[in-house]
């Protein structure tokens, strides 16, 4: 998964930080901490990791329910356009339903028309009433 995260960084124009073992340790620390900082749904093509969806749960959502927040959906370049993204989204919807979430939410970069087209192919339209904020340098 750390190697796929490095590919994700490169996709967004960033250089992967740290060594492969250091990145693997970061993935383990996030997903297997007590409590975990996030969850990941993995898509495999035989022994190859084809893609992943990282997500967390948010509360409160409408009516004091919980929502599933998709942070990243990434499919390896070699596995794109083969249904992996759809399988991951379907898996997230099942997880959300099993956890009695009222919704699944996510964002995408305005500079990523491929992701926007993919989400619209799932009959999901952008929500024009929300603006995304980010605070950095929290030390």
Domain membership of residue 54 as a residue range: 38-121
Other CB atoms within a 10 A radius of the CB of residue 79 amount to: 17
Q: Residue 92 — very low, low, confident or very high, per pLDDT cuts 50/70/90?
A: very high
pLDDT in tens, 3-52: 999 989 998 889 989 999 999 999 999 999 999 999 999 999 999 999 99
> Residue 12 in contact with residue 48, Cβ under 8 Å?
no
Is 128 domain-assigned? no
CA dihedral 117, 120, 125, 126 (to 10 degrees): -20
Is 50 domain-assigned? yes
pLDDT in tens, 95-139: 999 999 999 999 999 999 999 999 999 999 999 998 888 899 898
Is 100 domain-assigned? yes
Q: Chain-wide mean pLDDT for the chain?
A: 93
Is 110 domain-assigned? yes
Number of compact structural domains in the chain? 1
Is 81 domain-assigned? yes
CATH number at residue 75: 3.40.630.30
What the block records as the tokens of 131 is 């603006």
> Residue 7 in contact with residue 23, Cβ under 8 Å?
no
pLDDT at residue 73 greater than cutoff 90: yes
Is 61 domain-assigned? yes
Is 132 domain-assigned? no
Strands 48-58 and 101-106: unpaired
pLDDT at 57: 96
Is 134 domain-assigned? no
Strands 48-58 and 39-45: antiparallel
């Amino acid at each position: 998964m750390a190697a796929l995260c490095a590919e994700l960084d490169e996709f967004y124009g960033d250089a992967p930080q740290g060594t492969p073992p250091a990145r693997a340790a970061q993935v383990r620390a996030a997903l297997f901490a007590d409590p975990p900082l996030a969850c990941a749904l993995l898509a495999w093509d035989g022994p190859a990791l084809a893609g992943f969806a990282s997500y967390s749960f948010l509360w409160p959502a409408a009516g004091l329910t919980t929502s599933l927040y998709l942070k990243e959906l990434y499919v390896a370049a070699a596995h794109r356009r083969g249904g992996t993204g759809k399988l991951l989204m379907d898996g997230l919807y099942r997880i959300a339903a099993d956890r009695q979430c009222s919704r699944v939410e996510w964002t995408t970069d305005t500079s990523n028309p491929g992701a926007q087209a993919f989400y619209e192919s799932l009959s999901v339209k952008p929500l024009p009433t929300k603006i995304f904020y980010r605070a950095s340098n929290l030390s």
